[in-house]
Amino acid sequence: QEWLSKGHGEYREIPSERDFFQEVKESKNVICHFYRDTTFRCQIMDRHLTVLAKKHIETKFLKLNAEKSPFLCERLRIKVIPTLALVKDGKTQDYIVGFTDLGNTDDFTTETLEWRLGCADIINYR
């Protein structure tokens, strides 16, 4: 219940960089997808994250428009879109940059992404 009250269990967009800091402060595990509207691969990532957000309520799933958050992108050294920032206890622990870790293909499975997130210990993966 506590997780759900903090916005876990759904994949949602946050409007600004300021919201990012607030969100990561209140949850232990956060996955933030830095995306661009015009990037096709971001839509692929969105589909997988929507499924995983419902399955792994122990982690908060967010998305942030990279074009509207230049300060954060520079600070986190995000150069490739899509990038997932994996934040644990308020600190960015790992990144999934593009689809390289996911088999370098557009048609990777949700399970592949789930496995990779499990390797980073950002979700409870068995």
Confidence of residue 16 (pLDDT cuts 50, 70, 90): very high
Going from the C-alpha of 1 to that of each of 9, 37, 88, 120, the distances in angstroms are 10, 32, 20, 25
- 124 φ/ψ angles, rounded to the nearest 5 degrees: -85, 105
**Domain that residue 42 falls in:** 1-120
In a domain, 125, yes or no: no
Query: Mind listing the pLDDT tens digit for each residue in 43-74?
Result: 999 999 999 999 999 999 999 999 999 999 99
CATH number at 71 reads: 3.40.30.10
In a domain, 105, yes or no: yes
pLDDT given at position 84: 98
In a domain, 71, yes or no: yes
Residue 126 clears pLDDT 90, i.e. is over it: no
pLDDT given at position 30: 98
Tally of domains within the chain: 1
Its pTM stands at: 0.96
Contacts of 32 (CB under 8 A, 6+ apart): 14, 20, 23, 24, 62, 63, 64, 84, 85, 87
Residue 14 clears pLDDT 90, i.e. is over it: yes
In a domain, 126, yes or no: no
In a domain, 99, yes or no: yes
> Which two tokens mark 45?
């990532």
